[in-house]
Amino acid sequence: MKHVSLLRHAKALPADSSGDDFARPLAETGRAMATKVGQATMTEVPDLVLCSPARRTRETIALVSQAWPHQPEVQFEVPLYLAEWDAILERLRQLPDDATNVWIVGHNPGLHELAIEFARYGGIPVIDDELGRHFPTATRACFSFDVADWRSLPSSRTQLSAFVITR
């Protein structure tokens, strides 16, 4: 069994006049959202976190993980910055099989599109569901896959085990 949580970064400040999207920090509301995600997931600490290196994603996982009883390995990976869904999926397929619970902390639209793709393969209807409509900041979708290795993703044996919009 493999588990993937897709976590969109928490609410960030708008880009300043320099237009430097990569360096955008979290807003105060985003900091509070990330803290709530951490408190809600204290018993779900992943084996590994793959995180975009943008400032808002780094700040999100730092705040989320403060509530966790132990710190997982966190890898900051440049290709995850604004990655499309198929690039994220390809990265998941490269994971070592001893990892069972992995979080991806990143951006839309890639995370939302990957969540839709996982649901589609699992036969999970999402057209009229909240997951199908949007994936706001600090949202987490957790999927469970009845597979032995990461190369088998996505799978028809997929379950959406959690979809949480943090407000």
Spatial contact of 147 and 2, defined as CB atoms under 8 Å apart: yes
Query: Collapsing DSSP states into helix, strand and coil, what is residue 94?
Result: coil
Distance CA 85, CA 13 (A): 24
Helix (H) or strand (E) holding 117: helix 110-121
> Per-residue pLDDT for 124 more than 80?
no
> Per-residue pLDDT for 61 more than 90?
yes
The mean pLDDT value of the chain amounts to: 93
> Per-residue pLDDT for 128 more than 70?
no
Distance CA 149, CA 23 (A): 35
**Residue 27 C-alpha from the chain's centroid:** 19
pLDDT category at 122 given cuts 50, 70, 90 is confident
This prediction has a pTM of 0.95
pLDDT category at 134 given cuts 50, 70, 90 is confident
The C-alpha angle 57, 25, 162, rounded to 5 degrees, equals 35
Question: Which domains does the chain carry?
Answer: 2-165 (3.40.50.1240)
Query: Roughly what angle, to the nearest 10 degrees, separates helices 28-40 and 55-65?
Result: 40
Spatial contact of 87 and 120, defined as CB atoms under 8 Å apart: no
61-64 LR contacts (CB < 8 Å, sep 24+)? 61/7, 61/103, 61/105, 63/10, 63/26, 63/31, 63/34, 63/35, 63/37, 63/38, 64/7, 64/34, 64/35, 64/37, 64/38
Spatial contact of 34 and 8, defined as CB atoms under 8 Å apart: no
pLDDT of residue 155: 81
> Per-residue pLDDT for 127 more than 70?
no
Percentage of the chain exceeding pLDDT 90: 79
* DSSP E strands, the chain: 2-8, 48-51, 73-76, 101-106, 139-145, 158-165
Distance CA 24, CA 164 (A): 24
